[in-house]
Amino acid sequence: MIRRPPRSTLFPYPTLFRAVTIEARLSQCLLERAVESEVKATHAELATIIGTSREVVSRRVEALAKQGIIEADRGAVRILKPDALTLRAEQ
């Protein structure tokens, strides 16, 4: 029988990390990859980068677009309000 070490030794620093929302990860990703306020990437590529599904990214992009923070075109996302996107990245 294989014995596992106690949970505390497997991950001794749980307080160093916090749960980050998909919207925050997406916002941070867009800000990091923006060139002149534009990110050339598909929803599938963004999903792979932030570790989620394309469908989830599509819903979050649509929500941010409805709020006027970004504008989404085929294969590109334009950042209209970088300050608002930065606030979401920090959540």
pTM of the model: 0.78
Asked whether residue 9 carries a pLDDT value surpassing 90, the answer given is no
Compare 16 and 80 and report the one with higher pLDDT.
80
Tell me if 78 sits within 8 A of 47, measured CB to CB.
no
Alpha-helical segments (H) within 1-91: 7-10, 22-33, 43-50, 54-66, 82-89
Structural tokens at position 36? 């002149």
Q: In this prediction, what percent of the chain has a pLDDT beyond 70?
A: 79
Chain position carrying tokens 């990703």 = 29
Inter-residue long-range contacts of 62-68, CB under 8 Å, 24+ positions, other chains counted: 63/23, 64/23, 64/26, 64/27, 64/88
